[in-house]
Structure 1
């Protein structure tokens, strides 16, 4: 292998770090004749779809429909608080504890309304304005996507 054809291991490491930090599944870089693709297999971390692929496919197809319908219903009733990141939503600070908010609760701007765990970090999600919680779209332990509606404030 000539010197020009050596793989830049530091670049591959940097891409892997970016991949993990951004919670992406793959990243590609092209510079001249050099083309590097770094990807990770996310199906290994989700046991149910691997064990029962026939059941996982319909569930995965139904989820985007439910997410797509939720903002339309929520926007007509009030202010929708959306997830600022990809992760797992938790409605309480720890298992067995009271939830941060329930439907009917009044919240103040800056008040913690739930937690989104991303890459082993618990990120407190705060209300961006005061209001009354009219709907909660997620359940504790549910995966959420960036921009997915979490709850509605009136």
Structure 2
């Protein structure tokens, strides 16, 4: 009969990431062990709102057709993990890559902090980084699109 050892420090670190980022679930896997920490979202209480007051009709402005979502772009770079994205090595430094700048395959374009470790996110291919889809300090999910390289 094998007994599974629980890494309480890893669970606490994952729970801290959930709290810091506002995420509801996080999972890590290493070799044959896997830890998943999840919490349910806070219940939402319904509050009776006052009855709306009728307003004078206003003409709706013309709206252009929305552009294709950036996530559908063939050059979108997905996040390989859950964590917090940083576009520069430290807050006082410039970004690793400016929008519009040419990058080479393997060049660091940002960092993702997960479990107090900074992981380099590298350009999967050479091209031009046309747009960052996240802001520095923003929590990101696994698979979330981070940038577009054309």
TM-score by length of 1: 0.58
**How far apart, CA to CA, are the structure 1 residues paired with 2:101 and 2:12?**
38
Residue 11 of structure 1: how far off its partner (Å): 2.7
Larger Rg: 2
Equivalent of 2:127, from 114, 120, 131?
131
Equivalent of 1:118, from 77, 95, 114?
114
8 Å contact kept, 2:70–2:76: no
Number of residue pairs aligned between Structure 1 and Structure 2: 110
Equivalent in the alignment of 1:147:
143
8 Å contact kept, 1:91–1:113: yes
Secondary structure in 2 matching 1:128: coil
Q: Structure 2 regions of 5+ residues with no counterpart?
A: 18-24, 28-35, 46-68
Q: Structure 1 regions of 5+ residues with no counterpart?
A: 1-7, 27-37, 44-48, 55-68
Between structures 1 and 2, the one with greater helix share: 1
Secondary structure in 2 matching 1:71: helix
8 Å contact kept, 1:25–1:42: no
Q: Deviations over 1:73-98 (max 9, x none)?
A: xx1xx511111000000000011101
8 Å contact kept, 1:110–1:129: yes
**How far apart, CA to CA, are the structure 2 residues paired with 1:139 and 1:152?**
13
Residue 70 of structure 1: how far off its partner (Å): 3.2
